[in-house]
């Protein structure tokens, strides 16, 4: 496993300040995985999980939403095939992330992506900012990076970019895991 996929804002309504559901594919290998397949599989899982929880008597978000909106479908998410459609959650592949220089640090990068994402604790991930990171380095990507710095905790100025964390951290993580075991 050399990649992580994060579902951000899964229950947020569209048009809420530019923040909407996103699926971020964080891949530590250059061109190593078919992002479309991964994002589609995650959408399928989210769709089935939402449906299962919506039909339960639990206090889950899907069940509460279903009770509050009888007969409605969240953001028209349910097509005839009951799929979590792309118009509900945009799939985003970020091309400039910290990358491994071998094919054996996959799990370490996965753990690093999750750890640094959770530590950054973004208050929101506006779609426009995240999508700007997909392009080549331009004034727009620099502006998006600066704006993202305002929605994360201090110390994460390179959030979701190649400067997000030093790849040396993955080696240190290996040493830390070895100590624990």
3-state SS string for 95-151: CCCCCCCCCCCHHHHHHHHHHHHHHHCCCCCCHHHHHHCCCCCCHHHHHHHHHHHCC
* Helix/strand/coil percent split, the chain, to 5: 40, 10, 45
Instruction: Give the pLDDT score at 106.
Output: 84
Mean pLDDT of the chain: 78
Vertex 15: Cα angle to 8 and 143 (nearest 5): 70
Q: At what angle do helices 106-120 and 168-180 cross, to 10 degrees?
A: 100
Q: What is the pLDDT of residues 139-175, one digit of tens each?
A: 888 888 888 888 888 888 888 888 888 888 888 888 9
| Helical ranges in 1-123 per DSSP H | 35-54, 61-68, 106-120
Q: What is the pLDDT of residues 4-23, one digit of tens each?
A: 666 665 555 555 556 677 88
- Is pLDDT of 179 > 90? yes
- Is pLDDT of 123 > 70? yes
Q: What's CA 54's distance to the chain center, in Å? A: 23
* Stated pTM of the model: 0.74
Measured distance CA(93)–CA(96) in Å, rounded: 9
- Is pLDDT of 66 > 90? no
Q: Helix, strand or coil for residue 159?
A: coil
Residue whose tokens read 């992580």: 4
Residue 119 pLDDT level (bands cut at 50, 70, 90): very high
Instruction: Give the pLDDT score at 2.
Output: 46
């Amino acid at each position: 496993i050399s990649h992580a996929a994060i579902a951000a804002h899964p229950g947020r309504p569209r048009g809420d300040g530019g923040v909407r559901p996103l699926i971020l594919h964080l891949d530590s290998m250059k061109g190593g995985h078919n992002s479309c397949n991964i994002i589609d599989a995650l959408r399928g899982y989210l769709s089935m999980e939402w449906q299962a929880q919506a039909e339960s008597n639990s206090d889950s978000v899907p069940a509460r939403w279903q009770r509050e909106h009888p007969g409605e479908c969240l953001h028209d998410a349910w097509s005839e095939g009951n799929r979590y459609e792309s118009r509900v959650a945009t799939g985003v592949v970020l091309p400039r992330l910290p990358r491994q220089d071998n094919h054996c640090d996959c799990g370490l990068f996965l753990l690093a992506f999750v750890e640094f994402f959770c530590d950054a604790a973004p208050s929101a991930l506006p779609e426009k900012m995240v999508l700007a990171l997909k392009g080549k380095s331009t004034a727009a990507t620099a502006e998006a990076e600066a704006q993202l710095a305002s929605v994360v905790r201090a110390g994460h100025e390179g959030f979701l970019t190649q400067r997000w964390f030093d790849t040396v951290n993955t080696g240190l993580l290996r040493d830390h895991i070895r100590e624990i075991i």
